Chains A and B, each alone.
Chain A
Amino acid sequence: MPVDVDAEVLFSTRLSDDYAVIGFRAPAIAGAIRPGQFVMIRTARGDVPLLRRPYSVFDRLRDADGRPVGFSIFNKRVGTGSRLLSEATPGATFSCLGPLGRPFTLPRAGSEAWMVAGGTGLAPFATLSEELAAEGARRRLFYGARTGAELFCVDRFEPIGVDMVLATEDGTRGETGRVTVPLARELAARSGAPPVALYACGPEAMLQAVAALAARYGLTCEVATERRMGCGMGGCYSCVIAVRTPAGGTRFARSCLEGPVFSAADIVWDDVDR
């Protein structure tokens, strides 16, 4: 059940001009978060911007005794709301509503987990990696960005046993090109067993490419979508995405309730606006 709390900013770590990791104190939310879930953050006290902004949870923050005390988000400054967050300093408070949405499902025992992240799509994979570690599943993270300076927090993942494969479109770090290039190569090189479960978060073109690879190799694949969201609670019907119905038709599903994590096979990609 989501709660609305006034969450104090614990830290704001600038990663570049536009990107920052911002930590919030919110024990009531932190204890309940599942990988892939999101929080709706009110960025202004007044009426501009009016609506909350959805943020995928990056890290679950813990105190010295390991108790969950808060969460962090990946913030990219693009509009008014994200600018207000990027300017926030420790001590400031923001109304945070969460956790919300359907989380990732963990792979079946014996399965490997391959995560695919594009840009700020890295966010849900910190908590997912931790849960996968607890399950003992082999885990790899294919992480791509436009340029090397926008590959953030790479050293966050290796200590928890995640094999990293990096790619940048301009070739400044890791492999050159989109992250789906090394993913396709590694999938083709598999001998078949053990099975692989794919998890993807990032631009929808990337999600669509990962979904196509999953279909080609017959792999389960979950994607965390990002739609323009109004309320995060299922009230407004803004954040819809086209999904298949059992009868063979399509319908608009609310990504706040039925997602943001969907089975890639359910999404009707042709109807996704880009």
Chain B
Amino acid sequence: MDLSVRIGSLRLKTPIMSASGCFGYGVEYADVVDLSTLGAVVVKGLFLKERAGHPPPRIVETPAGMLNAIGLQGIGVHRFVREKLPELRAKGATVIVNICGTTIDEYVEVARVLSEAEGVAAIELNISCPNIKEGGITFGCHLGNTHDVVSAVRRATPLPLIPKLTPNVTDVASFAQAAEEAGADAVSLVNTFLAMAIDVETRRPRLSNGMGGLSGPAIRPIAVRMVYECARRVRIPIIGMGGITSAADVLEFLIAGATAVQVGTATFVDPFIFGKLESGLRDYMSRHAIERVAELVGTLEMPGGTRR
């Protein structure tokens, strides 16, 4: 049985990865999870410099989901390369680094630093964080900006480049197309949905930042729909995510058109989930006599017999 998939020039052992911002720098889990068994470890978003992040409270639970406004607290790309990357390499992890910037120049510089480091398999370009004022989502909500930042980083790195798209737009597929035209090797989606929760007793928002990003099972059907829409409009691989908690959820994304998936919020609940998802995926493939997981990608049968 072959679980491997290709994202541009990158071959992943399995289609199941951790999602950025949900698995620290990966090293936090190195004692309890065999990082080499994941398709990839996608590490927390990195700017050029260290970032403090937002004051707490940073999360709040909502029905079948949660809001977060962490504010991209991080150690910066240089410390990551020095302090975290060697351990990730030693553990045999396939490392995808999520990068952020407040300007195109910053994205380019972070990408350049990572391209010169040993052990980075790909770059995920965060143009979709809803929780910071500058950068991030401002690049992901405007087609021209998306094209510009992807093009600039494309010129700066030979590594596979995966812009991570926001769902907080009218037509996410047009952003996938903009990324493809600008030279992206793949796109990942969806980041969180901009959302809000209010304490009615105090009439204050439940997060210090006011608003935050909604994730978890609550968003999954919307994420599946968006992956499906993008898969019809671009030729590059899609990495799907949004509320995956079971092997059936992984399969939904694959069938909708994702080549691989990321698991985020569910790892908070169960850090051992990756092995369980993989074994569930194997069970399904065995039951359906599927030899290669890649055969499943985009196999949705639409009613009326037309595969759209």
Residues in A whose Cβ lies below 8 Å from that of B23: 235
Using a Cβ cutoff of 8 Å, how many contacts connect chains A and B?
Answer: 102
Asked if B56 and A228 make an inter-chain contact with CB atoms under 8 angstroms apart, the answer reads yes
Add 4 more A-B contacts to A233-B32, A237-B70, A240-B53 (CB < 8 A).
A50-B269, A238-B58, A238-B59, A242-B55
A242 — which chain B residues lie within 8 A by C-beta?
A: 55
B245 touches A273 (CB 8 A): no
Q: Which of B60-68, B225-233, B283-291 lies at the binding interface?
A: B60-68
- Closest CB-CB distance, A251 to chain B, in whole Å? 7
Closest residue to A256 on the B side, CB-wise? Answer: B28
Across the interface, B59 reaches (CB within 8 A) one of A42, A230, A234, namely: A230
- What are 18 inter-chain pairs, A to B, with CB distance below 8 A? A47-B245, A51-B66, A51-B268, A231-B267, A231-B269, A233-B28, A233-B29, A236-B22, A236-B24, A236-B268, A237-B21, A237-B53, A238-B57, A238-B59, A238-B68, A240-B56, A252-B56, A273-B55
Do A42 and B269 touch across chains, with their CB atoms under 8 A apart? Answer: yes
Do A236 and B59 touch across chains, with their CB atoms under 8 A apart? Answer: yes
In the assembly, what is the distance between CA of A52 and CA of B66, in Å? 12
Complex Cα gap A273–B205 (Å): 14
Q: Is the CB of B66 within 8 A of A4?
A: no
> Is the pair B28, A234 in contact by a Cβ cutoff of 8 Å?
yes
Q: For chain B, residues 25 to 68, give those with C-beta under 8 angstroms from any C-beta of chain A.
A: 28-29, 31-32, 44, 52-53, 55-61, 63-66, 68
Which single member of B52, B53, B268 contacts A231 (CB below 8 Å)? B268
- A241 interface residue (CB < 8 Å to B): yes
- CB pair B63–A48 under 8 Å, yes or no, is yes
* A1 contacts the other chain (CB 8 A): yes
Asked if B145 CB lies within 8 Å of chain A CBs, one says: no
A257 at the interface (CB under 8 A from B): yes
Per the bound structure, the CA–CA distance linking A150 and B97 in Å amounts to: 50
Whether the Cβ atoms of A4 and B270 lie closer than 8 Å is yes
- Decide yes or no whether B119 CB sits under 8 A from chain A: no
A50 with B29, Cβ < 8 A, contacts A252-B52, A252-B73 known = no
* Residues of B in contact with A (beta carbons under 8 Å apart): 21-24, 28-29, 31-32, 44, 52-53, 55-61, 63-66, 68, 70, 73, 208, 216-218, 245, 265, 267-272
Residues of A contacting B: mostly: loop
Mark A238-255 against chain B: 1 for CB-CB distance below 8 A, else 0: 111110000000011000
Chain A residues, Cβ within 8 Å of B267: 231, 235
From A1, A52, A97, contact of B31 by CB (8 A)? A1
Residue A18 is within 8 A (CB to CB) of chain B in the complex: no
A2 vs chain B, min Cβ distance (A): 6
In this complex, what residue of B is CB-closest to A257? B28
Instruction: Report the minimal beta-carbon distance from B22 to chain A, rounded to whole angstroms.
Output: 6
* CB of A120, distance to nearest CB on chain B (Å): 19
Is B56 a contact of A231 with CB atoms below 8 Å?
Answer: no
Q: Judge if A49 is at the interface, Cβ distance under 8 Å.
A: yes
A-side contacts of B28, CB under 8 Å: 233-235, 257
Please pick, from A47, A95, A251, A257, the residue contacting B216 in the complex, using a CB distance under 8 A.
A47
- A residues within 8 A CB of B55? 242, 252, 271, 273
**Complex alpha-carbon distance, A271 and B52, angstroms:** 13
- How close is A92's CB to chain B, nearest CB, in angstroms? 18
Contact A237 B24 (CB under 8 A): yes
Residues in A with CB closer than 8 Å to B59 are 228, 230, 236, 238
Point out the residues of chain B lying under 8 angstroms from A51, CB to CB.
61, 66, 268-269
Q: Pick the contact of B272 from A1, A4, A234, A235 — CB < 8 Å?
A: A4
Q: Which A residue sits closest to B208, measured CB to CB? A: A273
Q: Which residues of B contact A52 (CB under 8 A)?
A: 268-269
Q: Which of A124-140 contact B (CB under 8 A)?
A: none
Which chain A residues border B57 with CB–CB below 8 Å?
228, 238, 273
Docked CA distance A4–B70 (Å): 26
Q: What CA separation (Å) do A9 and B172 show in the bound complex?
A: 47
Please tell me if the beta carbons of B24 and A235 are within 8 angstroms of each other in the complex. Answer: yes
Measured CA separation A262–B252 after assembly (Å): 44
A234 cross-chain contacts in B, Cβ below 8 A: 24, 28-29
User: Smallest CB-CB separation from A242: which chain B residue?
Assistant: B55
For B32, B52, B268, B272, the residue with the greatest tally of chain A CB atoms inside 10 Å of its CB is B268
